[in-house]
Homo-oligomer: A and B are copies of this chain.
Amino acid sequence: MVISARVHYACLAMLELAMRSGEASDDSSPVAIREITDRHNIPGPFLVQILRTLRTAGWVQSVRGSQGGYRLSVDPAKITLLDIAEAIGCQESSARATPSTPLDEMLGEHWDEAAAASRRVLGEARLSDILERCRHGDASMFYI
């Protein structure tokens, strides 16, 4: 699981949308790309590309025309960082050829297990939890 800038930007955008989705209870005000890029220093046309992918994956809805923009299409408590990373297309590093020797096979299992371990971590990180912790200002939650 490689965390590219693309994935990082995608998660920032999703978190931003999640933050805004709670504000207006009528859910009628989409967030413009411009607002996201301004706040998070993301290159504009690059974010366009990323949001397109997220829309195809079904995580966000787009509203065209003036006053248009993006909004989440699902509950922030139902999306994890892993979901986003997979939507962006983090290719698994376990796309290896069939092992040629027992040693080769055993090594491959270790790579798979290492990848699974990081996926497990990201699969437990829900957007809603991250926002909640951010509001309470408790960064560094891992360094207990």
Contacts and interface: CB of A to CB of B under 8 A. Distances in A.
Q: How large is the interface on A (under 10, 10 to 19, 20 to 34, 35 or more residues)?
A: 35 or more
A106 B136 CA distance: 12
Chain A interface helix/strand/loop/mixed? helix
B102 A134 contact: yes
Interface string A94-129: 001000111111110111111111111110010000
A101 B40 contact: yes
A24 interface: no
A41 B98 CA distance: 13
Contacts of A117: 117-118, 120-121
Top 10 A-B pairs, shortest CB-CB distance: A114-B118, A117-B117, A114-B121, A118-B118, A3-B111, A113-B142, A117-B121, A117-B118, A3-B93, A110-B125
